[in-house]
Structure 1
Amino acid sequence: MGRAGRRLAAVPMALLALATVYPLLFTANVAGKTRREYVLDRFSPTGSPHAENLVTAWTGVGMARYAVNSLLVVVCAVALLLLLGSMAGFALSHLRFRGSGALFLGCLAALFVPFQVIMVPLVRIMADGGLVDTYPGLVLAYVAQFLPFTIFLMTSYYASVPRELVDAARIDGNTLYGVHRRVMLPLGAPALLSVGILDALFCWNDVLIALLVMPSPEHRTLMVGVTSLRGQYAQDVPVFAAGVLIAAVPVLLLHLFFQRQIADGVTAGATKG
């Protein structure tokens, strides 16, 4: 492709990048306005940003508490997802047992089942087990929803590890758990990092599961807290925009610092195995 072709191809890419960045810039601009400035002209650049909106959004509906809730749940859910997904990926890619192929196909099929299909029986089962409105309940709900995705990617990645390494570790006297801990986990560290980041983004951005499993206000996650902020400050759009900005900053930083790992995780299933 010549220089003219590259420049021509850059035009739609630049437009796509602008369409992606503009909502964030618009939200940041609105968050810096007073309510009067927003009513008079919502699209003009703000002259002097007002940090009071961020303070109001952070303290108005307890978003600090919601952020702690989200962080606690996401860390526990991602740790459990990586542990179970790595062990299942090792078993499905290197161990031969009856039903292993059907089990992998079952995990693959679970990727195509929308959460809306299973949310009613899931919540009823959790209610019967006393897990509704508890942190362990939300962690288990996230694990149940995102584990098939984690297993699929880890199985695809581990399938590229030579079987000779596993056989050599077994000859050295390692049990299957020892092989997983000493061989598969170090070799799978890049995939675990990529999948962990994707799982963290899925859990952090979730609203529906958290809204169903954690109904009480003190147990809300940050994204659910943003929706409640909209209801409380429906007439004060700058405060609501400040709350959206607060919730978006961790995701934005994660994308900026780990964009290569995120891309590797998205393409792992297509390039491994």
Structure 2
Amino acid sequence: MTGRRLGMWAAAIPMTLLALATIYPLLFTANVAVKTRREYILDRFSLATSPHWDNIVTAWTSVGMARYFLNSLIMVTAAVVLLLLFGSMAGFALSQLRFRGSSVLFLGCLAALFIPFQVIMVPLTRVMAVSGLIDTYPGLILSYVAQFLPFTVFLMTSYYKTIPTEIVDAARIDGNTTYGIYRRIMLPMGTPALLSVGILNALFCWNDVLIALLMMPSAGNRTLMVGVTSLRGQYSNDIPTFASGVLIAAVPVLMLYLFLQRQIADGVTAGSTKG
């Protein structure tokens, strides 16, 4: 029993330290966000004497965080919907349909996962510029789809491979077309994976800075994370306002993790087990 308790403490202590190291930056940012500039200059590590909510209101209204938040919400939602649609269709086709070249296509999607965005960002930007999609919502949405579709296809294919082919064969005998099988059977059965992959893609798109910075250069079309990055230069002398912008950007992601952490964990292991 003593050895078991020692083992539990040996695991609990480093995990507790890791949790504190993760939570502390968020708590520090929240504390700075409700301080006045004078309080921050006098002692940046002390607790705020009284919450000063004007910083958050200023960041939301005057600085433009509300507009950036709306931009991110629109583009992330559209990108995730397209990713789930195309990813589920491709996953169904690559896992359950038999056609020439399916294995090569799947390996191509797998290989695309290992290509960093920095390798393709110059040709992608040129293609978008020639197409007139720079600084437009469709341009950034399509860029997100292109970047994260291989990941989505890989996970959906892996998940759909765990579904017995007898189910698809039985549906085909009952007179269902390929589209009918996808819509009536594969989509409902793939709901857990779709939810998990959708959450992961939403986090990827929401936290992105590089793609959004390239595709949306104008100030009015910035996403939330790009807006927060720009605050660092504009409000270098007003750290509480900058911290308020960081807090506004972090809260949606934090809430998503708190309420959907199980689905996020399931998304990482989607399709890794049989049954």
Q: Normalization by structure 1: what TM-score?
A: 0.98
Which of 122, 125, 128 lines up with 2:127 in the alignment?
125
Is the 1:152–1:269 contact (alpha carbons within 8 Å) kept by the matching residues of 2?
Answer: no
1:92-103, aligned counterparts within 5 Å?
Answer: 92-103=94-105
Is the 1:57–1:229 contact (alpha carbons within 8 Å) kept by the matching residues of 2?
Answer: no
Q: Return the alpha-carbon distance in structure 1 between the equivalents of residues 232 and 59 of structure 2.
A: 10
Which residue of structure 1 lines up, in the alignment, with residue 78 of structure 2? 76
Which of 99, 104, 113 lines up with 2:115 in the alignment?
113
Which residue of structure 2 lines up, in the alignment, with residue 177 of structure 1? 179
Which residue of structure 2 lines up, in the alignment, with residue 218 of structure 1? 220
Which residue of structure 2 lines up, in the alignment, with residue 36 of structure 1? 38
Which residue of structure 2 lines up, in the alignment, with residue 158 of structure 1? 160
Unpaired segments of 5 or more residues in structure 2? none
Which residue of structure 2 lines up, in the alignment, with residue 230 of structure 1? 232
Which of 195, 198, 202 lines up with 1:196 in the alignment?
198
Q: Spell out, residue by residue over 1:112-144, the C-alpha distance to the aligned partner (whole angstroms, 9 max, x if none).
A: 100000000001001111111110111000000
Q: Return the alpha-carbon distance in structure 2 between the equivalents of residues 271 and 51 of structure 1.
A: 48
Which of 88, 91, 109 lines up with 2:90 in the alignment?
88
The worse-fitting range, judged by mean Cα deviation, of 61-70 and 118-127 is 61-70
Change (3 A) 1:269 1:173: closer
Is the 1:69–1:222 contact (alpha carbons within 8 Å) kept by the matching residues of 2?
Answer: yes
Q: Spell out, residue by residue over 1:227-273, the C-alpha distance to the aligned partner (whole angstroms, 9 max, x if none).
A: 12222111101110000000000000000000000000011143359
Q: Spell out, residue by residue over 1:165-220, the C-alpha distance to the aligned partner (whole angstroms, 9 max, x if none).
A: 10111111111111000000000000000000000000000011001001111111
Task: Give, as a single letter, the amino acid of the residue that structure 2 aligns with 1:98.
Answer: R
Q: Return the alpha-carbon distance in structure 1 between the equivalents of residues 58 and 32 of structure 2.
A: 14
Task: Give, as a single letter, the amino acid of the residue that structure 2 aligns with 1:145.
Answer: Q
Q: Return the alpha-carbon distance in structure 1 between the equivalents of residues 79 and 171 of structure 2.
A: 30
Which residue of structure 1 lines up, in the alignment, with residue 273 of structure 2? 271
User: How far off is 1:2 after superposition?
Assistant: 1.1
Which of 66, 69, 77 lines up with 1:67 in the alignment?
69
Q: Spell out, residue by residue over 1:41-62, the C-alpha distance to the aligned partner (whole angstroms, 9 max, x if none).
A: 1111111110011011112321
Secondary structure of 1:57's partner? Answer: helix
Q: Return the alpha-carbon distance in structure 2 between the equivalents of residues 269 and 115 of structure 1.
A: 25
Unpaired segments of 5 or more residues in structure 1? none
Which residue of structure 2 lines up, in the alignment, with residue 142 of structure 1? 144
Is the 1:94–1:159 contact (alpha carbons within 8 Å) kept by the matching residues of 2?
Answer: yes
Q: Spell out, residue by residue over 1:90-130, the C-alpha distance to the aligned partner (whole angstroms, 9 max, x if none).
A: 00101111111111011001001000000000010011111
Is the 2:161–2:271 contact (alpha carbons within 8 Å) kept by the matching residues of 1?
Answer: no
Which residue of structure 2 lines up, in the alignment, with residue 239 of structure 1? 241
Matched, 1:53 2:38: no
Task: Give, as a single letter, the amino acid of the residue that structure 1 aligns with 2:250.
Answer: A
Task: Give, as a single letter, the amino acid of the residue that structure 2 aligns with 1:261.
Answer: Q
Q: Return the alpha-carbon distance in structure 2 between the equivalents of residues 237 and 25 of structure 1.
A: 15
Is the 1:35–1:236 contact (alpha carbons within 8 Å) kept by the matching residues of 2?
Answer: yes
Q: Normalization by structure 2: what TM-score?
A: 0.97
Q: Return the alpha-carbon distance in structure 2 between the equivalents of residues 20 and 271 of structure 1.
A: 30
Which residue of structure 2 lines up, in the alignment, with residue 23 of structure 1? 25
Task: Give, as a single letter, the amino acid of the residue that structure 2 aligns with 1:22.
Answer: Y
Over the matched positions of the two proteins, sequence identity in percent amounts to 77
Q: In angstroms, what is the RMSD of aligned CA positions?
A: 1.1
Matched, 1:251 2:249: no
Change (3 A) 1:163 1:220: same
Task: Give, as a single letter, the amino acid of the residue that structure 2 aligns with 1:43.
Answer: F
Change (3 A) 1:168 1:269: closer
Change (3 A) 1:150 1:173: same
